[in-house]
Amino acid sequence: MSLDEKFLSYEHLRHGMDHERYDWSMLERREPVTWPGRAPLALWINVCVEHFPLNPQSPGFKAPGNMTMPYPDLRHYTLRDYGNRVGIFRVLEALDGYGFHASFAVNGELVERYPYLTRRLAERGELLAHGWNMDCAHSSALDEDTERQWIRQTLAVLGRMSLKPIRGWLGPARSQSSRTPELLAEAGIQWCADWVNDELPFHFQTQSGALVNLPLSLELEDRFIINDNLHSETEYAEQLIDAADCLLAEGRERGGRLLALNLHPWVIGQPHRIGQLERVLEHLRDFGDQVWSAAPSEIIAAAGLALEGSSR
């Protein structure tokens, strides 16, 4: 019994990363970031607005939240759709109540299904493309044309609704294939949020031009804490409060920090949970001008990262 020699050879063993996507860099060794108003903490709230088809095909892999029961899985289909009918409006009201901005990552197919909702969201904040639907996870199991087509049609329908060109991307379940970054750059995307390896934005290379990656924390996301980890809504709020306190303290001592909160109205918009989101928002509001609530492209700009092709 033995393995091929390749299992004991290390062709990417070198200083830095084992790939070409971004440079090795420790956050605390970078020039500290200063947010507008010298706020120690920037707050990015992103709301995912998603469509889970009843008849999933799932080429590659199944994104969390997808159908799990034999067809027709009405239970999961409708529970996800709850977010688009009821939950999202509770989330918007909570945000309004505490005066915080949010961006909205919207599936392309959702734009076609619910133009009313998309229009409302476009009037309120920055829109990010969130892939075609939640059954369209990007992976290297796809052929290139399929992936390119998903990206193009998503940007086409979102672009018609948005008041500004769509520049940001969040893959369904933060999924990327080995060619997604090139396809995004080709399609005019300037930044993505899929890589959760940092807490501040950083430069990201593709063979079709540069992107910025603005990390959208998985560990602090409602769906991850509540659905994957099965923690209670009370514990969800406690974790976010602890995170905010930690980042704010660091921001005062070591340079601007970012709290990136990803929300799913089908999770946090339930009546027994929304109050715990409000508890978190109240905690953040009580910090006053120590917290800078901003759109993602403003955060990237304030961190000093120029977007490719932008006027900065």
By CB under 8 A, which span of 76-84, 189-197, 272-280, 303-311 interacts with other proteins?
189-197
The whole-angstrom separation of Cα 120 and Cα 200 is: 29
255 binds other proteins (CB under 8 A): no
Binding mask 96-135 for other proteins (x = CB under 8 A): ----------------------------------------
235 binds other proteins (CB under 8 A): yes
Residue among 302, 265, 225 at smallest CA distance from 47:
265
The whole-angstrom separation of Cα 212 and Cα 166 is: 14
- One-letter amino acid at 96 equals D
| Cα–Cα distances in angstroms (integers) from residue 5 to residues 1, 11, 18, 242, in the given order | 13, 12, 19, 47
The whole-angstrom separation of Cα 49 and Cα 131 is: 11
By CB under 8 A, which span of 101-109, 113-121, 230-238, 270-278 interacts with other proteins?
230-238
H-only helix segments in 10-136: 74-82, 88-98, 108-113, 115-124
The whole-angstrom separation of Cα 305 and Cα 104 is: 21
> Which one of 152, 231, 283, 285 is in contact with other proteins (CB under 8 A)?
231
Binding mask 135-154 for other proteins (x = CB under 8 A): ----xxx-------------
Residue among 106, 211, 91, 109 at smallest CA distance from 162:
106
For the CB of residue 299, give the shortest distance to other proteins in the complex, in Å: 16
243 binds other proteins (CB under 8 A): yes
Which one, 21 or 113, has the nearer CB to other proteins? 21
The whole-angstrom separation of Cα 248 and Cα 256 is: 8
Over its C-alpha atoms, the chain yields an Rg (Å, rounded) of 20
The whole-angstrom separation of Cα 150 and Cα 183 is: 10
For the CB of residue 242, give the shortest distance to other proteins in the complex, in Å: 5
For the CB of residue 123, give the shortest distance to other proteins in the complex, in Å: 32
Residue among 15, 21, 19, 12 at smallest CA distance from 202:
21
Which one, 122 or 240, has the nearer CB to other proteins? 240
For the CB of residue 273, give the shortest distance to other proteins in the complex, in Å: 16
Which residue is it, tokens 């995170």?
243
> Which one of 2, 123, 271, 289 is in contact with other proteins (CB under 8 A)?
2
User: Cβ–Cβ contacts within 10 Å for residue 274, how many?
Assistant: 18
> Which one of 73, 112, 198, 282 is in contact with other proteins (CB under 8 A)?
198
* Window 22-81: residues binding other proteins (CB under 8 A): 24-29, 60-61
By CB under 8 A, which span of 85-93, 104-112, 244-252, 291-299 interacts with other proteins?
244-252
Which one, 28 or 123, has the nearer CB to other proteins? 28
286 binds other proteins (CB under 8 A): no
7 binds other proteins (CB under 8 A): yes
> Which one of 184, 240, 274, 291 is in contact with other proteins (CB under 8 A)?
240
CB-side neighbour CA atoms (13 Å) of 50? 31
The residue ranges that bind other proteins (CB under 8 A) are 1-4, 6-8, 10, 12-19, 24-29, 60-61, 139-141, 173-178, 194-199, 215, 218-220, 228-231, 235, 238-240, 242-247, 250, 259
